[in-house]
Structure 1
Amino acid sequence: MSAFLTTIAAGLQGNHTDVLNLSVDQVSLQFFSSLRSYFPWLDRFLAVVLPVAILLTGLWQHVSRIYTLTSGVQKSLLSHLTVPGSHELNKLVCSHLSKQGFGQNPRSVQLAPYDTASKDSNGLNYLPAPTTDAWFKFNGTWLKFTRKDVQTPNNNFHPFLHETPGVPDPDVTLSCFSLTGNVKPIRDFLDHLKQEAKGEKHTTRIIRIIPGQGGYGGFGTRSVYKPARKLDSVAMDASKKSEMVTTMTDFIASENWYADQGIPWRIGYLFYGPPGTGKTSIATAIAGHFNIPLVIVSLAQPGMNDTTLQQVFDDLLPPNCVCLLEDIDSAGIGREGTAKPADEDSDNNPSDPRTTALMSRPVKPKPGVSLAGLLNAIDGAASHEGRILVCTTNSPNSLDPALLRPGRIDMKILFGNASAEVTESLFRHIYKDISGERTSPDVAQMGRRFAASIPEKQVTPAEIQNFLLPHRTDPSKALDGVEAWVKDMLASKKQSGNVASFEGQI
């Protein structure tokens, strides 16, 4: 390297007496001249590489212009329809692409965090990974599938419209060629998916609110699709069940009437009674019967307060759904107490300086959901239409009357311990095969005998079912053992102080 620099310096000094007066061009010319003399192979290298580099540069510019032109033409001809990550059709589209091998690009996949229709032999679910593009055909029309990852900063994080806590579910964009902007092929594809889903085994989408990891300490959702539960699988008084289903059917079919009357299209039910009497089960069966999602909200879970509950009702609940508020009494929402007058308490004398100091302190808000917060969420102006609200409680008398007034709670249904009718119905339901036929010709008579062996209003339907399940293939064995089981059960209840029937009235 020192010899190379010496050659450059000598060349410059040999041609000019004053090196400081040299121009940039002169210095560059001498530098490259010395470089070629010092590296004789450089001429051959440049003779080969330089033309190729110039050719590739020109080709790249040409290809870039063509790509820009075709992209612009494609964008002008493509019509788009976006399916939000919170919409149930998002899952159906991804599941369809999974079954079809992701169109023409099956190279990028991910494990699905929820149930899909496509599972491999190991029971794993696969979906197109975020940032996946694929073309596929439907009814002879090419459609483009795009699923891009959602990059959301924490300060703008929306904690309610996604499936995995802290990770928003990517939106899906479907595109088709159209000169007029018509998206009918895409609508036909989505309608096909909905009909296909209905034609398969009837399922119910159950959405559970769970604490999330995103901004604002928000909540996320977890969805699971389960086989729809039939109404006749829930043992309860037949007249109550019939009245409830009739009112719900009329409610669902009366959207236009509610709109004409200016009445919010919402309805509320209170299911009350001891644990194990079918309150949650019937809510699940209702959602399956009307083919609408079931959203389960627990008011007692950590992080749930007035603000987050309002956001759940405003942003999460689908327009048509069953919203199940489980065990609202367990959240500490009781009757609103009235303040004790100051003149009745000598310790709260307003003239006492200590009392004045205490009253001037800011009141620390009570954690959790308050009664006012719950009422605002239930019948607030932003509450979704078409919602069936179901509240469950084991302690109805502890609830404030404001929560139970018509417009919030329109029907109160007692789920008590099993009557003879409920017991017989449960027995007959257990001992029938999948097609609905009886497994034994005299199972109806056995059911009546079984119901007569159990004292009315003393045990819950869940307890009876737990007794029957081990004998689900042998009704005779269940009938033979029921008396001993009842004796032990009542003795256990008496010992624990829980033998009285539940006949609470509110």
Structure 2
Amino acid sequence: MNRTVTPTDPVFPSDAALLDAFIPGYSMVSGLLRAYLHVDLSAYLPYLALLAVVAFSVNYLVMRFWYLLEEYCVSTAEIRMDDEISKHLMFWVAQQPLTKKMHHFVAATRISPGMYYFDDTDGERGDEDPWNEQDETDENGNVLDDFDDYWARMKTRDRFKRLRFTPATGRHYFWFRGHLLWFNRVREENNPNASFFMLNPERLYISCFGRNPAILKELLVEAQHAYVGRDSKNTVIYRAQRDRSLTVDWVRCMARAPRPLSTVVLDATQKQAFVSDIKEYLHPRTRRWYSNRGIPYRRGYLLHGPPGTGKTSLSFAAAGLLGLELYLLNLSSKTLTEDDLMGLFHGLPRRCIVLLEDVDCAGITHQRNPDSSSPAKDAPDAASSDPPTVTDTPAAAVAKDANDSSDSKDRKGVSLSGLLNVIDGVAASEGRILIMTTNHINKLDAALLRPGRVDMSIEFGYSAAADIRDLFESMYTAREEDFHSAAEKTIPTTSSFPSITTTTRTNSNNNKTKQTDPLSRFSPAEIRSLAAKFAEAVPAGEISAAEIQGHLLNYKTAPDVAVAEAAKWVRSVKAGRRAQTTSSSGGATA
């Protein structure tokens, strides 16, 4: 007998088959519910469909509402990780109470975990600096007299790095100056434009309610001030680095304590003239004066002389004295093109120092005279106005000419004309201070030395008697930083290895433990007397400042011993030079 389908049947067989096609497994699930729970799923399908429609509609409306809210009622600042402001923001966020309340965060030993080739946290170590005075005392505040006790503590501590916590991927809400803000960290997957330095390409977003983004700009300015402020007492050094996209840009490599200008061995008149000229150039009236007369606002200096006489030291000391950033550029790199060089100079800030060291060794100074018979190449090194060095011997000159000839054939880097155009071409950048150093000024092309490219030239020679005396006094004069209080978190400005010292304990109200400097046993008059004796023992005009400093560093706390051993040391230096000269002559003959 045929079954008659009545209107009360909830779903026709064709409908069940249709549902099974759209919802795989519907027949099996509905059959199981009907068999074991006596529940007819088809009777609830209209309600389930209505619930799905409502859920979809609510989700769509919420998303649409939030989109419109963000579009018209929310201000957002986007920060890209390949820009320096991203480091500023992450540094600032890592110091906020927000990081202490987060349940989802990133733990790392560096503020910018994406930076692979360098650590940009060297300027913010503070109390974790390995030379901090906290490391010179034990748990009770007693100064560690014995080196073994001190080093046993230090070698364990140096294995650990300070952990830094930053917000993880997602949104994080916080309050800033009475405004509700949210920090959004988004990871960019498969970004072809990601820098080679960025292991995790990301973007940062800072948002707030309202159409006025002033609070966001205030936050970014505060973050920038906090980041830059950590280096307010340091000299920041940048170098050129190529990323994955083959673009060369300036990369912050370190921040060092400034070097006092008094430690540079150079005639006081020359030092003062050099610093005064830079100050005059940086004065705003000078820029206006240049502009009003159509003169390019640039300044160049050439420091020349034998190795170890203080050319690089003067550049670093000038940067520290004036609070300028120092940009190092290696012209000897064969991968550096002229376009890269032009881009690097265009990326310089308005006021900075660009240091090109040993431009005579860059392989570009003889390209205008490729013929080996040219006067520039045939001129003997002995004709140089520089004092003779080991590299000025005839044998060394022959070997150097052979190397120069080989390098000029294989070189594919920057040409001399390219360097000249970058320094003072039509499209050359303005506002920077260019300092070039060389050991042999006679090897430089005359076009590189003309006024406009080199505005001031300073010759460095071997130390005179007055320079030797001043260097000795500078090394051994007791300073306040040498015996400061352990309660004061002062970071020493020297990077030399700490010597073993004697200490005294003082029972003051604030329970400070002080350290006695071993140099304090010598009065200023005794130091001056020893300096005069040392200047008499060291021949003037024959020893470089670096060599003298190397000798004095062997007797950091014993100036009297340094004077007693001076004559023996001078003889060893001269013997070493003669041995090097003989070796160079023998190698060239062979």
TM-score range, shorter chain: 0.7 to 0.9
2:251 is matched with 221
Post-superposition CA distance 1:168-200 (Å, at most 9, x none): 986655444444x35266336625752785477
Report if aligned partners of 1:176, 1:186 keep a CA contact under 8 Å in 2: no
1:194 is matched with 225
Structure 1 CA distance, aligned partners of 2:200 and 2:414? 26
Relative to structure 2, which stretch is displaced further, 259-268 or 141-150?
A: 141-150
Query: Residue 373 of structure 1 aligns to a residue in which SS?
Result: helix
Structure 1 CA distance, aligned partners of 2:310 and 2:168? 41
1:478, distance to aligned residue in structure 2 (A): 1.3
Structure 2 CA distance, aligned partners of 1:463 and 1:365? 35
1:303 is matched with 335
Query: Residue 68 of structure 1 aligns to a residue in which SS?
Result: helix
Structure 2 CA distance, aligned partners of 1:48 and 1:292? 80
1:108 is matched with 106
**Structure 2 matches for 1:238-317, cutoff 5 A?**
238-254=268-284, 255-314=287-346, 316-317=347-348
Report if aligned partners of 1:204, 1:291 keep a CA contact under 8 Å in 2: yes
Q: TM-score, normalised by structure 1?
A: 0.75
Matched, 1:235 2:235: no
1:125, distance to aligned residue in structure 2 (A): 6.2
Query: Residue 35 of structure 2 aligns to a residue in which SS?
Result: coil
Report if aligned partners of 1:166, 1:220 keep a CA contact under 8 Å in 2: no
1:466 is matched with 550
Relative to structure 2, which stretch is displaced further, 200-209 or 393-402?
A: 200-209
1:298, distance to aligned residue in structure 2 (A): 0.3
How many aligned residue pairs are there? Answer: 447
1:303, distance to aligned residue in structure 2 (A): 0.8
Sort the Cα spacing of 1:34 and 1:396 in 2 relative to 1 into closer, same or farther, 3 A.
Answer: closer
1:96 is matched with 92
Task: Pick 1 or 2: higher relative contact order, CA cutoff 8 A, min separation 6.
Answer: 2
Post-superposition CA distance 1:262-290 (Å, at most 9, x none): 32222111111222122222222222222
1:495, distance to aligned residue in structure 2 (A): 3.0
1:445 is matched with 529
1:243, distance to aligned residue in structure 2 (A): 0.7
Structure 1 CA distance, aligned partners of 2:231 and 2:367? 49
Sort the Cα spacing of 1:482 and 1:153 in 2 relative to 1 into closer, same or farther, 3 A.
Answer: same
Query: Residue 65 of structure 1 aligns to a residue in which SS?
Result: helix
Query: Residue 471 of structure 1 aligns to a residue in which SS?
Result: coil
Structure 1 CA distance, aligned partners of 2:219 and 2:269? 42
Post-superposition CA distance 1:29-63 (Å, at most 9, x none): 46779765686348638489965785466345424
Sort the Cα spacing of 1:311 and 1:411 in 2 relative to 1 into closer, same or farther, 3 A.
Answer: same
**Structure 2 matches for 1:353-432, cutoff 5 A?**
367-432=412-477
Relative to structure 2, which stretch is displaced further, 418-427 or 72-81?
A: 72-81
1:72 is matched with 68
Report if aligned partners of 1:110, 1:129 keep a CA contact under 8 Å in 2: no
Structure 1 CA distance, aligned partners of 2:109 and 2:44? 47
Structure 2, gaps ≥5 residues long? 5-11, 21-25, 129-156, 372-408, 483-518, 583-590
1:66, distance to aligned residue in structure 2 (A): 2.7
Structure 1 CA distance, aligned partners of 2:199 and 2:292? 41
The AA in structure 2 aligned to 1:306 is E
Relative to structure 2, which stretch is displaced further, 273-282 or 108-117?
A: 108-117
Q: Kindly, what percent of the aligned residue pairs are identical? A: 28
Q: Which residue of 35, 39, 49 maps to 1:40? A: 35
2:241 is matched with 210
1:318, distance to aligned residue in structure 2 (A): 2.4
Report if aligned partners of 2:290, 2:297 keep a CA contact under 8 Å in 1: yes
Q: TM-score, normalised by structure 2?
A: 0.65
Structure 2 CA distance, aligned partners of 1:249 and 1:478? 38
Post-superposition CA distance 1:351-395 (Å, at most 9, x none): xxxxxxxxxxxxx99512110111122223443332111111112
Q: Over aligned residues, Cα RMSD in angstroms?
A: 3.9
Post-superposition CA distance 1:59-115 (Å, at most 9, x none): 454244234323432443444556665665543332221122555646134443423
Structure 1 CA distance, aligned partners of 2:97 and 2:281? 42
Post-superposition CA distance 1:326-362 (Å, at most 9, x none): 211111122454588xxxxxxxxxxxxxxxxxxxxxx
